[in-house]
Amino acid sequence: MAHFEDATHEYSEDHSSPEGEVLSRLRRDTWLTTTKPQMLSDPIQGRFLSTISKMVRPNRILEFGTFTGYATICLSEGLAPQGEIHTVEINDELERIHDTYFKEAGICEKITRHYGHALDIIKSGEIKGEFDLIWLDADKEHQIEYAEFAISRLRSGGWLLIDNVIWGGAVIDMKKRAKPESGASRIHQLNKYIQDHKDVENVLIPVWDGVQIAMKI
C-alpha cells in the first residue's frame, strides 16, 4: 500500500491502540528481510482491519495477498472461536516468515494457506464455500476477476474490503486513466465494477491508498 506520512496520520497512530508485540516484530522482520517491505499494511490500517473483523465476528475469512501475514494476523483478531482464514499468496518463499509469525500469534490451526497465482487458485476450485469477510490486496492486473469471485463467495450480508483503490491519486488523473494497461485505468474500472454491481452496496473510503467497502445484499 502507499504510505502517506503526515501530521494527522502520526496523530492518528499516536491515539490508536498499539499493534502489539508480535505484529511489531513482524513489521521489523518484513523491513529487514523482504525486497518490497512497503507492501506491508501500516499500524493504522492493521487496527482498522482488526476492528472490522471484530465488528463482523466472521466464521470464515478469505484473503488475497498474504505478503508476510501482517494483515492476516490482524484479521484473525476478530474470528469467531472456531473460525478460519483462507489466505492466498503468490510467493512461496515467504512461507518461513508465515510459519514463524502465525505460530507466535497462535493462529496456525486457523489458517489454510494457498500458494500460487490467485487466478490459478480460483480456477483450481480449491477455495470452497462461502465467506463472511474477504480482504483483497493482490495484483492489480486481475482485480475485477478477484472481485467477481469474492462477491460470488460472500454470504448475504458479508463484507468485501479492497485495498489501493485510489492508487496514489492516479485514478483521478485523466491522462493516466486513458492508458488501458495502466494501474490507474485498471483500478478505475474496478471501482466502476463495484459501484455498478447489482449485488452489493459500497462506499469508497479515501484513507491510506483508498479502501472499497462493499456489503453483499
CATH of the domain at 204: 3.40.50.150
Residue 159 lies in a domain: yes
pLDDT at residue 4, as a whole number = 53
Residue 110's domain comprises 7-216
pLDDT at residue 142, as a whole number = 94
Residue 151 lies in a domain: yes
Low-confidence ranges of the chain (pLDDT < 50): 1-3
Long-range contacts of residues 2-5, Cβ cutoff 8 Å, at least 24 apart: 2/164, 2/168, 2/208, 2/209, 3/38, 3/42, 3/208, 4/208, 4/209
Residue 14 lies in a domain: yes
pLDDT at residue 3, as a whole number = 46
What is the Cβ-side half-sphere exposure of residue 113, based on CA atoms within 13 angstroms?
23
What is the Cβ-side half-sphere exposure of residue 36, based on CA atoms within 13 angstroms?
6
CA–CA distance, 184 with 32 (Å, rounded to integer): 30
What is the Cβ-side half-sphere exposure of residue 87, based on CA atoms within 13 angstroms?
28
Strand 200-205 to 211-216 pairing: antiparallel
Residue 43 lies in a domain: yes
pLDDT at residue 207, as a whole number = 82
Residue 1 lies in a domain: no
Residue 131 lies in a domain: yes
pLDDT at residue 8, as a whole number = 85
Residue 2 lies in a domain: no
- Distance from first CA to last CA of the chain, Å, rounded? 28
Number of structural domains, the chain?
A: 1
Residue 143 lies in a domain: yes
